[in-house]
Amino acid sequence: MNEKKLSNLLRQGGLALLMVCGEPSDIGKVERLCGDSKNPGWTKALKYEDGRLLFLYSTHRSISENESAIAVCIGLARDAASGSVIGAKELMRRGICTPTDVDHSRLTGNYLILSVDKREPRACLFRSLAGSNTLYFYQGQDLFVCSDDIRLLFPFLARLELDAEALLSHMLFRSVMGRRTYLRSIQRLEHGHRLRWVSGNIQDGLVQTLETTARPELHRLSDAEVDAFGEHSERMIRHYLEWLLREGGRAATLLSGGIDSGLLQHWINQEWVNGTQPRSWSYRVAIPEFDHEAQYALEASDALQTLHEAVTITAEQYPHLLRRSIEIAGAPVAHESMPCHLALAEAFSERFGEISHVIIGVAGDTLHGMESAKRLLQIESLGRIPKAAWLLDGTARILGPVLPNKAYGARELARWLRGEKDPLSPLNPWNAPGLFSDLPLALRCFGPDAVRRAFVERRERAREYLHPSTLTEGIHTLCLVTFVADDQPVIGRLYGNYRVRVLYPYLDWEFIQRIFTLRPKLRYCVRGRTKPIFKRILEKETPYPNVDKHKGHSGFNNTLFAWMAKGPLRDMVHSIERPSFISKEDFIWKIDNPDWFIWNLLTLDYFKRDVL
């Protein structure tokens, strides 16, 4: 064990949970380091009859023990019957969590639970579906160690080696899939999975899926049904705010000005009872490409009457934020906006005590209608027509001289229909979501067989959670259980490094179940309008700006590519070491013409050389 490295990591304050079962000398070192007054936390050392030792250290507040077990709850576990937040002590008293099982059927919320037996070496871990917290673990010959901060595992490994299987996934999707991480020896607990650890043996399986959600009940969007959906969601938000008041927490909403964050802020306003003006924050990248995002946030704040503040990120600040984000995450960061979350977290820390929790409205689109939903529905319908692509091409030729926009749309649909039949096409609806790469170059680097396997693996992983009834439902599920659910632990780690907790109400199991009472054709797009319920509630109950105005995503890829070519990221790009999978000619061309492929290389290169 690298004692110096562990000591340095502990001083950064990023530790959440650490469990070790191994040699007495290692246990003693860990116990001494975690017991340092500079690293205050809850500690417990156990010795079992077979001579095995276990040490538990946690800085999470929801931790409890009785005569037979210890339990830790990370995130918000809520009683499925009453909706109220319950902590580790109550989970143990009710028998919901034990060292052999977690009865997730009695819970809702978004959480991670660990229960450790004090009498014999065994433990049970469970991560709720779309859980925004996860545990990383390493199993060695005489050692088992796990933490919700992957960096805390690094000192226990003799060598830190990249997982070769993760490289292709990273270069295609900016992330790795399933139980795998970027490091060969470290695995993670996936969402919806239960892991049982017994005397060094691991049993890991998927036990909570979208198949267990309530089946469709609502067949039309009447005013009464829309009102009922809003009232149900408001009650859920009430439980979050009641818990915050009891904990003495001070919360702010991340308000981007989009439909998801706007509706979340509206529901918070409806249940806000502490007598102060609700607070909201946003980040603003100081570039023209981001001006619309900043303006939408201000308009939303004005309409919803929040006390709003924005953090500005300049081009000069961005490289440092990127490097620091990768260091804190202990992995390459995916989205270009992730360093912006770090800027927010740093701003909160500079004004210590003002904000302890940030509420983020992520996942509303993957649950209730991405911008692509309209096109997906068109592909579904036209795909039933023989030779539809050929007919659309003919229509485009006729309309071209008089209605060029309509002709363009027809040609685009024809291309998507052809792409659906090609398993390696970037226009295949199953491949397009989350594909951030130069696909022809990826095919040259890794070969068509490997790329095809990566696409198939990603699709099959989504189908483990739900057998979709429509193409549209399948694509939305794919996005929910891949990059949305996988990115949130990273964002949570960035805020958590500064003692700020992140809450994701849209990833609450209760909200997900409620969404799935809607038939897919009502859930995602109705009469060409995405997020139909969200927009109708905002229209009816708030003076929100035009809800059908297209806000776009919170990224800035055009500027990012320019920064890599000639701006503040150029030095980082030109210092990338050429990996063996790419030819010298392709590498030189890409360095001079950066895109997502180079972004993926950049984050991976910095992680490999400067973090590992």
Q: What is the mean pLDDT of the chain?
A: 89
- Higher-pLDDT residue of 1, 113: 113
Predicted model pTM: 0.93
Given a cut of 90, whether residue 516 has pLDDT beyond it is no
- Higher-pLDDT residue of 51, 102: 102
| Rounded to 5°, angle at Cα 249 from 243 and 250 | 125
Token pair listed for 331: 């992995």
Confidence of residue 448 (pLDDT cuts 50, 70, 90): very high
Confidence of residue 12 (pLDDT cuts 50, 70, 90): low
pLDDT of residue 215: 66
Check if the beta carbon of residue 461 is closer than 8 Å to that of residue 316. no
Confidence of residue 82 (pLDDT cuts 50, 70, 90): very high
Given a cut of 70, whether residue 17 has pLDDT beyond it is no
Write the burial class of residue 25 (CB in 10 Å: 0-12 exposed, 13-18 middle, 19+ buried): exposed
**How far is Cα 459 from Cα 481, in angstroms, rounded to an integer?**
10
Write the burial class of residue 459 (CB in 10 Å: 0-12 exposed, 13-18 middle, 19+ buried): middle
**How far is Cα 95 from Cα 124, in angstroms, rounded to an integer?**
13
Identify the top-confidence range among 27-41, 118-132, 483-497. 118-132
pLDDT of residue 552: 64
**How far is Cα 563 from Cα 167, in angstroms, rounded to an integer?**
24
pLDDT of residue 196: 95
pLDDT one-digit tens code per residue, 268-287: 999 998 778 999 999 999 99
Token pair listed for 134: 């996860």
Write the burial class of residue 513 (CB in 10 Å: 0-12 exposed, 13-18 middle, 19+ buried): middle
pLDDT one-digit tens code per residue, 165-199: 899 999 999 999 889 999 999 999 999 999 999 88
- Higher-pLDDT residue of 61, 563: 563
pLDDT of residue 412: 86
pLDDT of residue 518: 85
Confidence of residue 218 (pLDDT cuts 50, 70, 90): low
pLDDT one-digit tens code per residue, 392-440: 888 888 888 888 888 888 888 888 888 888 888 988 999 988 889 999 9
User: What is the mean predicted confidence (pLDDT) over 560-584?
Assistant: 96
- Give the N- to C-terminal CA distance of the chain in Å, as an integer: 15
User: Which domains are delineated in the chain?
Assistant: 3-211 (3.60.20.10), 215-369+475-559 (3.40.50.620)
Check if the beta carbon of residue 538 is closer than 8 Å to that of residue 262. yes
